[in-house]
């Protein structure tokens, strides 16, 4: 069962490893990103950052979608973490079980605008998020579990 899907450039770090896992009661983290899945060094770093007692799976987007759709992840309280808005949108389009996306940390890049304290989006990302929200996916901005959720429409 998917308990949350979060966009966070940092992937696994203190907020994710402690605050979010605890608040969600997740027992498995799925990092879904093609570059990370193909990079031995990044995978090794994420494995070191993973809290004990929690399973970590690192897959590319297509493999992540296939795993979720196959039902193999259903036995876990699955917390999905992706690196980019693009990854989140592609994952949600491929997995109807993803009903909500938390924009947690999207770093500033050239051509982006700030829509919250920790979230910057490009015009293309904004368009993709609005389209995804139009399909019924609930998109909120929240850094920590205790923070008040800011709805995408309010931020834009």
Q: Do residues 100 and 139 make contact, with C-beta atoms less than 8 angstroms apart?
A: yes
Active site residue 13: yes
Largest Cα separation within the chain, whole Å, is 41
Token pair listed for 72 = 């193999």
Which of 1, 2, 10, 13 is flagged as catalytic? 13
- Within 10 angstroms of residue 123's Cβ, the number of other Cβ atoms is 10
Handedness of CA 55, 76, 73, 134 (dihedral sign): negative
Count Cα atoms within 13 angstroms, Cβ side, for 121. Answer: 22
- Rounded Cα gap, residues 96 and 109, in angstroms: 29
Q: How far is CA 141 from CA 3, 14, 124, in A?
A: 16, 18, 18
> Annotated catalytic sites, by residue?
13
């Amino acid at each position: 069962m998917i308990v949350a899907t979060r966009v966070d450039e940092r992937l696994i770090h203190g907020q994710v490893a402690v605050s979010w896992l605890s608040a969600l009661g997740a027992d498995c983290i799925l990092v879904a990103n093609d570059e990370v899945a193909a990079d031995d060094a990044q995978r090794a770093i994420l494995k070191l950052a993973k809290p004990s007692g929690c399973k970590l799976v690192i897959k590319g987007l297509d493999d992540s979608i296939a795993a979720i759709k196959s039902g193999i992840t259903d036995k876990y309280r699955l917390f999905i973490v992706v690196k980019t808005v693009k990854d989140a949108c592609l994952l949600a389009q491929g997995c109807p079980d993803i009903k909500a996306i938390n924009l947690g940390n999207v770093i500033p890049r050239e051509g982006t605008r700030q829509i919250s304290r920790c979230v910057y989006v490009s015009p293309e990302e904004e368009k993709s998020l609005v389209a995804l929200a139009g399909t019924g996916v609930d998109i909120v901005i929240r850094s920590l579990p205790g923070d008040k959720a800011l709805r995408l429409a309010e931020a834009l």
